[in-house]
Amino acid sequence: MRHQVLTIGALGGLLLLAAPPDDSSAAPARRQRKPRAGSARPRFAPPPPAPGGAAGAAGSATPAAGARPWEGVPGIAGKLARDAVAQSAAASGSDPASADLATKATGDALLGITEAADEATLRASLTRLRAAQAAQPNDPALARELGGVALRLGDLDTAVPALRAAVGARADDATAQLELGVALHRRGRLSEALTHFLKATDLAPTSYAAWMNLGITYRQRGLPQEAIAAFRQAAGQAPSAAEPQLHLAEAHAQALERDEAEQAYRKAIALDPRLLPARNNLGNLLLLAGEREAALTAYDEALKVAPKDADVLYNRGVCLFRLGRFDAATQAYRRALKQRPGYALALNNLGVALGRLGRNEAMHRAFADALKADPKFGPAVFNLGVASLRTGRLKEAVRHLRDAIVINPTMAEAQRLLGEALIRQGQINEAKVALTAALDLEPGDSDARRFMGVALARGGDTERAARELGAVVRSHPDDVMARLVLAEVLANSGETDQAIEQYRAALQLDAKNADAHFGLGEVLYALGRHSEAIASYERAAAFDSRHSGAQFRLGEAYHAAGNYEAALRAYRAAASADPSLRAEVHYKLGDIYFRLKKTQLEIGEYLDALNANARHTAARIALGFAYARLRMYPAALKALDEAATEQPKSELAHYYRGFALYNTGRVDEAMAAYQRAVTLRPNFAEAHYYLGQIYLERHQPTEARAAFTAALAADPRHAAAAAALAKLKTSP
C-alpha cells in the first residue's frame, strides 16, 4: 500500500499551532536585565601621597566605590526598549510552530483485476493489442483489454480513450466501468470517476474493488457518510479483509466520529496485526483526542511491526512532545531522521523540542536544516525567524520573518515578531510599520500593542507610548509584561509614583516576578530610597538567582557599604548569569581587592577585565595606579599612556600618569599631566594640590599658593592644602 504524508487536517481540520493546544502555560523565557550602559564608572582608591609631602584628602578625586553613575529618575533612560524586548520570542507567546502528524495514506484507487504480470509481458501485450485494435477498431472486448493493460502500465493516454470506447460500446461491462473509473481517478478527474464507480457497483453489487474505489472517491470528495456506506459494502464482500476496516476508520475520522473510527482501526488490526497504517493512524486518532498515553502505546505497537518506519518514529516524537517529554521527543525525531535524512517535518519539530529544552543554538540549526531540506516549507521559514530572534541573529531574523510574511501576508504573529526584531536593531520607524500591520490583522494582540509602546518610547514619543501601554493594561489587566514596560516609560517621564504603582500592580499579579522587583528597585534607588531599593534587588535575586541586573546592583550596594564578601558573591553571580558583564565585574572585583589591600589579586582582576574588553579604559587606569603603588613604574606608565590615548579627556588617566611620572623623576612631564587634569576638571582638588607641591619644590611660591588656593576652592575640607597654604603665609 502506498504511503504518503497527510496533514492533521485530514483527521479533523486542525491548524498549525505555536504550541500544543494544552501547552499554553509554558513559562516565558527568563529576561535578564543588564545594568544600564554607562554604569561602568571608575571606582578608584584615594589619591597617592603627594610628591614629597603629606597625603591628600582620601577619596576626593573620584566617586566612592559603588556610587550610582546616575542621579534621579532620568538616569534610567536608555535601557527601556532593550530591556522590554530582551525577552525571547517565547516570552511574548511565540514558540516555533510544530508540524503536523504523518498519516499513512489509504487513498489510491484499486484495480479490480488482481493477477500480476511483469512489465515486459505487459508491454508485449500492449504492442500486440494495439496492432489488433488497428485491425479491429470497433471491437469493445479488444478496447477493454487494451485499456486494462495500458492502465496497469500507467499509460493513461492510451487507457482512457480505449476504456471510453469499451463502455461506449458496452455500458453494461462492469469491469470496463471500474477500470475507466480508476484511470480517471488517477487523472484527478474525481467527479467522472465517481460516476463510473457507481455504475460498476450497480452492475456488479458484489464487486469488492468497485465498492472500495467508490468509498475512496467519496472520501476524497469530502463526503464521509457516503464513503462509510460504500466501505461497509466492501467489508461485507470481504469480511476477513483488514483494508475495508482501515478505510472505514478513515471515513469515520473524517466525519469526526471518533469512537467509530477507533473501533474500525482496532478491527483492522485484529484482522491484520501487521497492517502498519492502521496502527499508525490509530495513534494519530488517539493523540488528536488528547489520549496521549494510549497514543504512545499505539505508536510503540506500530514500531514492533516496522521498527525503522520514519513516519511512526516522527509521530511518536510528536506524542512525546505533547506529553512534555521534550528530551525523549528529540530522540524520537533523531531516530526518524536516521531512517529518512532530510525529513523536513522531523527537522522542524526537532527544532521546536530543542527550543523547549533551552538549546537555542541547536534549535536554530535544526530549523536551518529543515529549510535546506525543503525551501518551500513555510513553517520552517517562520520558525527559523523565531530561532534567529531568540539567538540574537537580528538581521537573519528580519530576513526570515519577511520571507514568512511573503508566504503568508495575513500572519500577524510574523509581523509582530518582525517589529520586535526591528526594535532591537534600532529601526524604529520600520518596526512601527510592522507592528501597525500586526495590529491591523489582530487588533486584540496585546503583545503587538506592547511592542508598539516600546517602539514609540524608543522614538521619543513617551506620551503615546504610555497611552498604548495603558490601553493594553486596561484591556488585559493581568498582562504583567505590559505593566513592567509601562512602568519604565512612566519612570523615564518622571512619573515615579505611577511607575511604582505599576510595578506593585505587577507584583500583585506575580509576587515572584524578578523583573518587577528589579525595576521597582531601580526607581526607588533613583529616588534616594536606598534601603527599600536594596530590599527589592534582594527579592529579585532570591526569586531568580541568575537575574544579572539584580545581582549586579546588589554587588554595587554591598560594595558601597563595605560588605565586600557579599559584593564579591553578587558580582560573580551577575557575570555567571550574563557573560557580557565579565569585564565590568572583574573591574569592580579589582576595586574590592584594592580596598582589602590585596594588590596582586587586584591586578589580576584588572587584567581579566582587559582580556574581556580591551577597551575598558577605567580598568586600564586602575591597573596603572596599582602598578605605581608597587613602584612598577614602567608598567604603570605603559597602562596609563594607553589609557590617555584611548580617552584623552579622562582627567583620571592624566592624574595618575602624573604620579607615575613624578616618581620616575620626569617632573616636567608630571606637571604637564597634572595641568592637563585640572584643565579637564577645574574643581579637581587633588590635582591642584600636587601641582602646588611641585611648585614648592621648584621654589615657585606664587604658583604654589595659587594651586593650593584652587584646591581649597574645590574642596574646602582639603586639610593638606590648607596646611600647605598656611605654611606659605608664615614663610619669609
Report the percent of the chain where pLDDT is more than 90. Answer: 71
In our burial notation (b when 16+ CB lie closer than 10 A, e otherwise), range 255-279 reads: bebbebbbebbbbbbebbeebbbbb
pLDDT at 474 > cutoff 70: yes
C-alpha cell at 297: 502505546
Mind listing the pLDDT tens digit for each residue in 39-53?
Answer: 322 222 333 333 333
Amino acid type, 659: F
Mind listing the pLDDT tens digit for each residue in 374-425?
Answer: 998 989 999 999 999 999 999 999 999 999 999 999 999 999 999 999 999 9
Considering Cα of 591, then 597, then 599, then 604, what sign does the dihedral take?
Answer: negative
Report the percent of the chain where pLDDT is more than 70. Answer: 84
The answer to whether the beta carbons of residues 139 and 165 sit under 8 Å apart is: no
Q: What is the pTM of this model?
A: 0.65
The total of other beta-carbon atoms located within 10 Å of residue 658's CB is 28
What ranges in 26-118 are assigned the alpha helix state H? 80-85
CA distance 44 to 652: 9
Kindly list the distances between the CA atom of residue 308 and the CA atoms of 326, 329, 338, 339, 343, in Å, as whole numbers in the listed order: 21, 16, 9, 6, 14
| Cα 159 to chain centroid, rounded | 54
Q: To which H or E segment does residue 599 belong?
A: helix 599-612
CA distance 174 to 15: 42
The answer to whether the beta carbons of residues 138 and 170 sit under 8 Å apart is: no
CA distance 591 to 584: 11
Q: What is the mean pLDDT of the chain?
A: 84
**CB-hemisphere CA count at 13 Å for 622?**
36
pLDDT at 61 > cutoff 50: no
Kindly list the distances between the CA atom of residue 24 and the CA atoms of 28, 191, 438, in Å, as whole numbers in the listed order: 10, 43, 21
The stretch 319-344 carries a mean pLDDT of: 96
In this prediction, residue 138 carries a pLDDT of 84
In this prediction, residue 462 carries a pLDDT of 87
| Cα 39 to chain centroid, rounded | 28
Q: Which residue has the higher pLDDT, 63 or 717?
A: 717
CA distance 583 to 596: 20
**CB-hemisphere CA count at 13 Å for 270?**
9
The stretch 658-676 carries a mean pLDDT of: 95
CA triplet 433, 439, 441: central angle to 5 degrees? 105
In this prediction, residue 92 carries a pLDDT of 44
CA distance 92 to 476: 14
Q: Fill in the DSSP letter of residue 53.
A: S
Long-range contacts of 354-359 (CB under 8 A, 24+ apart): 354/330, 355/90, 355/95, 355/96, 355/387, 355/390, 356/26, 356/95, 356/321, 356/326, 357/326, 357/327, 357/330, 358/29
pLDDT at 685 > cutoff 80: yes
CA triplet 473, 475, 480: central angle to 5 degrees? 35
In this prediction, residue 357 carries a pLDDT of 94
C-alpha cell at 153: 502500465
The answer to whether the beta carbons of residues 295 and 307 sit under 8 Å apart is: no
The answer to whether the beta carbons of residues 644 and 621 sit under 8 Å apart is: no
CA distance 11 to 14: 8
Q: Which residue has the cell 506500530?
A: 302
Three-state DSSP class for 28? coil
The stretch 79-100 carries a mean pLDDT of: 45
Short-list 235, 219, 290, 310, CA closest to 268:
235
Spell out the residues 6+ positions from residue 569 whose beta carbon is closer than 8 angstroms to its own.
none
Short-list 65, 10, 75, CA closest to 37:
75
The stretch 288-301 carries a mean pLDDT of: 95
In this prediction, residue 548 carries a pLDDT of 92
SS (H, E, C) 2-49: CCCCCCHHHHCCCCCCCCCCCCCCCCCCCCCCCCCCCCCCCCCCCCCC
Short-list 593, 647, 667, 665, CA closest to 623:
593
Amino acid type, 338: K
CA distance 233 to 214: 10
pLDDT at 31 > cutoff 80: no
The stretch 140-158 carries a mean pLDDT of: 88
C-alpha cell at 388: 534567529
In this prediction, residue 714 carries a pLDDT of 95
The stretch 437-442 carries a mean pLDDT of: 95
pLDDT at 603 > cutoff 70: yes
Q: Which residue has the cell 582580556?
A: 611
Q: Which of 33-37, 518-522, 537-541 has the lowest average pLDDT?
A: 33-37
Instruction: State the DSSP string of 286-313.
Output: HHHTT-HHHHHHHHHHHHHH-TT-HHHH
Q: Which of 5-19, 54-68, 600-614 has the lowest average pLDDT?
A: 5-19
pLDDT at 64 > cutoff 90: no
Mind listing the pLDDT tens digit for each residue in 161-212?
Answer: 988 988 898 999 999 899 999 999 999 999 999 999 999 999 999 999 999 9
**Could you tell me the pLDDT band of residue 107, with boundaries at 50, 70 and 90?**
low
In this prediction, residue 125 carries a pLDDT of 86
**Could you tell me the pLDDT band of residue 96, with boundaries at 50, 70 and 90?**
confident
Mind listing the pLDDT tens digit for each residue in 207-248?
Answer: 999 999 999 999 999 999 999 999 999 999 999 999 999 999
Q: Which residue has the higher pLDDT, 78 or 363?
A: 363
CA distance 382 to 405: 8
**Could you tell me the pLDDT band of residue 104, with boundaries at 50, 70 and 90?**
low
pLDDT at 90 > cutoff 70: no
Mind listing the pLDDT tens digit for each residue in 491-520?
Answer: 988 999 999 999 999 999 999 999 999 999
CA distance 480 to 486: 10
In this prediction, residue 414 carries a pLDDT of 95
Alpha-carbon dihedral of residues 246, 251, 252, 256, nearest 10 degrees? 130
The answer to whether the beta carbons of residues 729 and 708 sit under 8 Å apart is: no
The stretch 704-732 carries a mean pLDDT of: 91
Q: Which residue has the higher pLDDT, 731 or 577?
A: 577
